A and B are shown apart, each in its own frame.
Chain A
Amino acid sequence: MSDTSDQQAIERPASTADVAAEQRPPEQQQQGTAEVARQLEAGGGDEGGTLRQADEAPLFPPDEAGQLQDRWQEVQASFVDEPRQAVQQADELVAGAIKRLAQTFADERSQLEGQWDRGDEVSTEDLRVALQKYRSFFGRLLKV
Chain B
Amino acid sequence: MTQDTVQIIFVALAVVALVAIALLWMRKRRSEGLKSRFGAEYDTLAKHTGDESKAEALLAAREKRVAAFQFTPLTTDERNRFVGSWREVQAQFVDDPKGAVTRADGLLGEVMKARGYPVADFEQRAADLSVDHAEVVQHYRTAHDIAERHERGEAGTEDLRQAMIHFRALFDDLVNEPDPAANGAPVKEKEKIRE
Query: When chains A and B are docked, how far (Å) is the Cα of A3 from the Cα of B194?
Result: 26
Question: Within the complex, what minimum Cβ distance (angstroms) separates A87 from chain B?
Answer: 10
The answer to whether A79 and B93 touch across the interface, beta carbons within 8 angstroms, is: yes
Interface centre among A73, A80, A81 (most CB of B within 10 A): A80
Q: Is the interface of B mostly helix, strand, loop or mixed?
A: helix
Query: When chains A and B are docked, how far (Å) is the Cα of A74 from the Cα of B94?
Result: 12
The answer to whether B195 and A3 touch across the interface, beta carbons within 8 angstroms, is: no
**Is B165 on the interface with A (CB-CB < 8 A)?**
yes
The answer to whether A80 and B164 touch across the interface, beta carbons within 8 angstroms, is: yes
Number of interface residues of B (CB under 8 A): 12
Query: When chains A and B are docked, how far (Å) is the Cα of A7 from the Cα of B161?
Result: 20
Interface centre among A3, A73, A77, A83 (most CB of B within 10 A): A77
The answer to whether B94 and A76 touch across the interface, beta carbons within 8 angstroms, is: yes
Chain B residues numbered 172-195 whose CB sits less than 8 Å from any CB in chain A: 194-195
A-B contacts at CB below 8 angstroms, number: 23
Query: When chains A and B are docked, how far (Å) is the Cα of A31 from the Cα of B134?
Result: 69
Question: Within the complex, what minimum Cβ distance (angstroms) separates B108 from chain A?
Answer: 15
**Is A89 on the interface with B (CB-CB < 8 A)?**
no
Question: Within the complex, what minimum Cβ distance (angstroms) separates B93 from chain A?
Answer: 5
CB within 8 A of A79: which of B87, B94, B168? B94
The answer to whether B95 and A7 touch across the interface, beta carbons within 8 angstroms, is: yes
The answer to whether B195 and A74 touch across the interface, beta carbons within 8 angstroms, is: yes
The answer to whether A78 and B195 touch across the interface, beta carbons within 8 angstroms, is: yes
Query: When chains A and B are docked, how far (Å) is the Cα of A7 from the Cα of B195?
Result: 23
- CB-nearest residue of chain B to A4: B95
Question: Within the complex, what minimum Cβ distance (angstroms) separates B158 from chain A?
Answer: 8
Contact string, A110-133, partner B, CB cutoff 8 A, digits 1/0? 000000000000000000000000
The answer to whether B165 and A81 touch across the interface, beta carbons within 8 angstroms, is: yes
CB within 8 A of A3: which of B95, B164, B168? B95
Contact string, B126-169, partner A, CB cutoff 8 A, digits 1/0? 00000000000000000000000000000000000100110010
Q: Which 7 A-B pairs have the closest CB atoms?
A: A77-B91, A76-B91, A80-B164, A80-B90, A79-B94, A77-B90, A80-B93
**With A77-B87, A80-B93, A80-B161 given, can you name 12 additional A-B contacts, CB distance below 8 Å?**
A3-B95, A73-B91, A76-B91, A77-B90, A77-B91, A77-B195, A78-B195, A79-B91, A79-B94, A80-B164, A80-B165, A83-B161
Residues of A within 8 A of B (CB): 3, 7, 73-74, 76-81, 83
